[in-house]
A and B are shown apart, each in its own frame.
Chain A
Amino acid sequence: AQSVAQPEDQVNVAEGNPLTVKCTYSVSGNPYLFWYVQYPNRGLQFLLKYITGDNLVKGSYGFEAEFNKSQTSFHLKKPSALVSDSALYFCAVREGNQGGKLIFGQGTELSVKP
């Protein structure tokens, strides 16, 4: 069965520093990977996705993610964090040959301090 794990419940970063939010996955077929962000009292917003091709995917608000097949990871990164990046981040995976439903990780709370 497919699964996705976000090993850190919370990540704390100083403004201007690089940030990484970690995600690992488990699927038996080709993985399709997504990152979403949730601000307080709002729904999720799509950031980026990996389907195929270049392992480095660029998305909204300056975020990028690196797909690593050997480590089964899809970590979210940003070179310089902003206070406004503080939010809850979700990684999700869809297994290509298993009906297609998205499985979400439990979420990582990112806190960026001035």
Chain B
Amino acid sequence: NAGVTQTPKFQVLKTGQSMTLQCAQDMNHNSMYWYRQDPGMGLRLIYYSASEGTTDKGEVPNGYNVSRLNKREFSLRLESAAPSQTSVYFCASSLGTIQTNQPQHFGDGTRLSIL
């Protein structure tokens, strides 16, 4: 069982380039999330989608856009990459919305470096 699959696993970009991080889950979950993880700062929510067709900003949305393509897939786009966006990006999903307190299931991350 795959769970949450993120592609690519690693990527190096130059400043100003664009890129889309892909995420897919096979657990029929309703909610999906994008986080970034930086040393000493824990995880910070970028965007989330409570259900197919809806998206909402999280704590650090600037410089990012998202698309909930269907129930399975939730992509994160960097339109013009900046060195400050160098980070490890995690996608997660949960059966219910955040308010139901159900556990989030995480992918293994995309390690993104912007030169």
Complex CA–CA separation, A104 to B92 (angstroms) = 14
Are A51 and B42 CB-contacts (below 8 A) given A43-B90, A44-B90, A101-B48?
A: no
The chain B residue sitting closest to A45, CB to CB, is B106
Contact with A along B18-53 (1 / 0, CB 8 A): 000000000000000000000011111100100000
- Are B98 and A94 in contact, with the CB atoms below 8 A? yes
Q: Per-residue 0/1 for A2-46: is the Cβ within 8 Å of any B Cβ (1 yes, 0 no)? A: 000000010000000000000000000000101000000111111
Q: Is the CB of B4 within 8 A of A51?
A: no
CA distance in complex: A36, B8 (Å) = 24
Given contacts A43-B108, A43-B109, A107-B42, contact A51 B90 (CB under 8 A): no
Number of interface residues of A (CB under 8 A): 21
Residues from chain B with a CB closer than 8 A to the CB of A44 are 43, 90, 92, 104, 106
State how many residues of chain B have any CB contact under 8 Å with chain A. Answer: 23
- B contact residues around A43 at 8 Å (CB): 4, 90, 92, 106-109
Within 62-96 of A, Cβ neighbours of B (below 8 Å) are at: 90, 94
Interface residues of B (CB under 8 A from A): 4, 40-45, 48, 58-59, 90, 92, 97-99, 101, 103-109
Residues on A lying within 8 angstroms of B by beta carbon are 9, 32, 34, 41-46, 49, 51, 90, 94, 99-102, 104-107
